[in-house]
Amino acid sequence: MKISLKSPKPRNPHFVAALRRVAGLHRPSAGGSRQRLHRELRVEIDRLRPSP
């Protein structure tokens, strides 16, 4: 009686490479620009406050 083991399906070599590639916009995100504007506004408000 011969024992035969099923070998796993071969992996797709292109799939792993595709997971490592990251695609997206080539500009800063909208969230980042909103945060930057919020920080700049805070600095300006603090600068305009009268010092005691």
What are the mean pLDDT values of the chain's consecutive 10-residue runs (52 residues total)?
Answer: 78 79 75 93 91 69
CA–CA distance from 27 to each of 2, 13, 18, 34, 52 (Å)? 61, 30, 22, 14, 42
pLDDT at 30: 86
Q: What is the pTM of this model?
A: 0.44
pLDDT at 34: 93
pLDDT at 43: 94
H/E run at residue 46: helix 30-48
Q: Is 45 left (phi over 0), alpha (psi -120 to 50) or beta?
A: alpha
Any idea what DSSP says for residue 49? S
pLDDT at 19: 75
